[in-house]
Amino acid sequence: MISAIIIGIFVGFASGFFGIGGGTILVPILLFLGFEFKTAIGISVTQMMLSSMFGSFLNYKKGLLKIKNGLSLAIGGGIGASLSGFIVKHTSKEILGAVFLTLVLIAIIRFFVTVPEPKDEPPIDNKKLFIIGLFVGMIAISVGVGGAILITPILVGFLKYRLKTTVSLSLFFVVFSSVSGFISQSLAGHIDYVKGFTIGFASLIGTYIGIKLYHSINPTHHKKMLLVWYIFVFCATFYKLYIQGH
């Protein structure tokens, strides 16, 4: 129980400090602690559900979250994530691991691709947002990550939304997709409820501390630290799944 609290605080801190979803932090940690990949996914989805609900509540209080705009993306994500239990149950850990590593690789590539902030933001296209949410929810939740890692480059790079709009939309998306994913993973028997909720609630404390510290760090140094973290996660997960695991 103590170890789960420590893990939760660390994951929350790193998530708040780096501004990223806890899945890319929590899943590798759990793998190195000896958890099965599918169990790690279940615990990660539980943590993600609690942290995204907390984060969306804070965004709503600050007026940064427009529920009407995010609803089509969120509903699509919820429907897509409802398939995650089936996908995880019938997919090998090697394939799931490859998808996880691909998402981390996308995050690394984004550091070297600069997308200019659009001058004129297009109107919200609910049909496109629903389809994007459906696809991302199905893929991301099945490997224990929130989906913002895919949502952000799609909305900014292809739909030309401003980053501020995208951040609030993607966090609201994670609420729906993670709740739906949690139910789906529960029905498939992949959730360790005690560890999942312990880590999840402890991560909220860490997130608060991480966000506070983030504002005192030089942005250039912060970006370099995040890049190093993603490269480490990619290498460590690859080693654990494909080298040590064989």
Residue 151 has pLDDT above 80, yes or no: yes
In this structure, which amino acid lies at residue 181?
G
pLDDT band at 93 (very low <50, low <70, confident <90, very high): confident
**What integer pLDDT is reported at residue 37 of this predicted model?**
87
Is a pLDDT exceeding 70 seen at residue 80? Answer: yes
**With 60 as the cut, is the pLDDT of residue 175 above it?**
yes
pLDDT for the residue 147 = 80
Question: First and final CA of the chain: distance in angstroms?
Answer: 30
pLDDT confidence of residue 66 = 65
Residue 171, token pair as written in the block = 């966090």
pLDDT at 131: 93
